[in-house]
Amino acid sequence: MKLYISNCKSCGKKIPLNLNAPSRAHIRNIYGDQFSVECSNCCNINDYTPSDIHAESQVNSTIKGGAIGGAIGLLGGPIGLLIGGAIGGAIGNDQDTQEKNQVKRFNRSY
């Protein structure tokens, strides 16, 4: 899950944040009700609140899992390729679902 501020107050661009938190309350406990962030686009520093932070899904594990599983399955021949790809894709899909749920929980938090 990737956290970001949706709009810089100076240039309006998205500001990616290098932090990990399960909710806005967690951010509030660590950084307080207001904190300063430097925009990576315009380099201006502005004050924001935890409610200005949003989450989005970062990866697509289904494709990666299928590719890795398929590559491992190559050792078992064509049938191994199919089985490995299916298992890897299923594991990746589960990781995608978990991350999407984390994103929903974060974006609904206060």
Residues 82, 85, 86, 88: what is their CA dihedral angle, to the nearest 10 degrees? 160
Provide the residue ranges of all domains of the chain, joining segments of one domain with +: 2-56, 61-108
pLDDT at 58: 79
Which pTM does this prediction carry? 0.68
**91-95, Cβ contacts within 8 angstroms, sequence gap of 24 or more:** 91/61, 91/65, 92/60, 92/61, 92/62, 92/63, 92/64, 92/65, 92/66, 93/61, 93/62, 93/65, 95/59, 95/61, 95/65
Tens of pLDDT, residue by residue over 34-83, are 999 999 999 999 999 999 999 998 765 456 655 555 555 556 666 666 66
CA 68 to chain centre: 21
pLDDT at 68: 57
- Beta-sheet strand order (sheet of 15-17): 15-17, 2-5, 53-56
Distance between CA atoms of residues 78 and 61, nearest Å: 23
pLDDT at 75: 62
pLDDT at 79: 67
Residue 2 reports pLDDT greater than 60: yes
Instruction: State the average pLDDT over residues 18-23.
Output: 93
pLDDT at 96: 73
In this prediction, residue 97 has a pLDDT band, given cuts at 50, 70 and 90, of: confident
